[in-house]
Chain A
Amino acid sequence: MKTLKFKQILLSFSILFLSFGLFAQKQLITTDTHIRFFSTTPAEDIESNNYASTGTLNIETGDVAFSVPMQSFEFEKSLMQRHFNQKRFLNTSEFPIAQLVGKVEDFGKVDLSQNGTYNVIVSGEMTIKGETNSFREPGTIKVSNGQIVANSKFFITLAEYGVTFSGGKPASNIADKVEVTVVAEYER
């Protein structure tokens, strides 16, 4: 009787540890990221960089998510950074975090134990300034000696996120669609 109890305790403990172990391995975290956006018009090129985002990648399901602190976007010109943050543009004091939630559709073909660059499709939803839109974009997952780096480049239409310019300088100097580049190195 005594030994049975001991065995039961041992078993439940090992299940507990096993599930912790699985949980820890399942979800990879990244805080080493670079999100850049680039807008080009005949009048001006505008670039902004953000190195402070946090993300996760579930290596069983291919689920991905990113949390992007909007005030961490840095511009070369302080005036542009000011405009970017203001209410009529990205309203970052009210919406300080942008979100990306999605899934690597073809994650099954990514072999994390094999070095290589895998072309994938990521689809899901992005929420910027409180507006949510769906997306489906190509990207790559690069595996080299256990290191996992995700990469994607796509365009977003500013008007879909409630960022519109009715006239004046912003309308002529900011493109309707801006190019977004995402790089994330995951911790193992």
Chain B
Amino acid sequence: MTSKRKKILKIAALLAIAGLLIGAGVAYYMYNMPHRDVQSTTTDYKLTVSELINEYANNQDAANAKYLAEDGNSKILEVTGEVLRSRTNMNNQLVLVLQNPGDIAGVNVTFGEQASQETPAVEKGQIVTIKGVIRSGVYYDDNLSMYVNANIDHAALIQ
């Protein structure tokens, strides 16, 4: 074996090892990739609860296409509306139901785990603005015989 050939083989082996390490690194990173931090991501739309409800009431498919992303990282909204009720869910997260008077439905806003602990008590009737990611829209459910509220989660109070 000539020394030139040896050198080429050595370089090829090194490149292969480097490639494997990078591949494994990328795979490891992908597997452990953190969730999107909703609160530090730019808001896509700012609107009122009534505007969101009306958009869904007018054209559910168009609203879904506008707001829901194929990979689940759907649009981040800042939504303003009146607090109808406040409760804690089975995961100990704060849930605010925002619904403006006269509207057919509202939005269930589930707060992030940290925000659930840090958010001060909110009164019924108070007007608030929250930021969160939309998960589903408002629609009339024939099986439940009622309008089902939209869902926003990973939320925090903006004001």
Contacts and interface: CB of A to CB of B under 8 A. Distances in A.
Does B associate with A? yes
Nearest to A87: B70
Contacts of A93: 64-65, 68-70, 74
Given A51-B89, A71-B68, A72-B136, A56 B145 contact: yes
Interface in A37-56: 49, 51-52, 54-56
Nearest to B61: A94
B153 interface: yes
Interface stretch (B4-12, B13-21, B27-35, B117-125): B27-35
22 contacts: A32-B89, A32-B90, A33-B90, A34-B90, A51-B89, A52-B89, A52-B153, A65-B143, A65-B144, A69-B151, A71-B68, A72-B110, A72-B136, A72-B151, A78-B36, A79-B30, A81-B35, A86-B71, A96-B136, A96-B137, A97-B136, A183-B90
Interface residues of B, number: 37
B104 interface: no
Contacts of A82: 71-73
Main secondary structure of the interface of B (DSSP, over half): loop
Contacts of A69: 135-136, 151
Given A69-B151, A96-B137, A97-B136, A86 B36 contact: no
Interface string A55-88: 1100000000101011110000111011011110
B64 A71 contact: no
A117 B62 CA distance: 45
A85 B90 contact: no
Given A72-B135, A93-B64, A56 B151 contact: no
Interface of B: 30-36, 64-65, 68-74, 87, 89-91, 93, 95, 108, 110, 135-137, 139, 141, 143-146, 148-149, 151, 153
B98 to A, nearest CB: 13
Contacts of A34: 89-91
Contacts of A185: 90
Given A33-B90, A67-B141, A77 B32 contact: yes
A51 to B, nearest CB: 5
Interface of A: 27, 29, 31-34, 49, 51-52, 54-56, 65, 67, 69-72, 77-79, 81-82, 84-87, 91-94, 96-97, 99, 101, 183, 185
Contact of B110 (A51, A77, A79, A91): A51
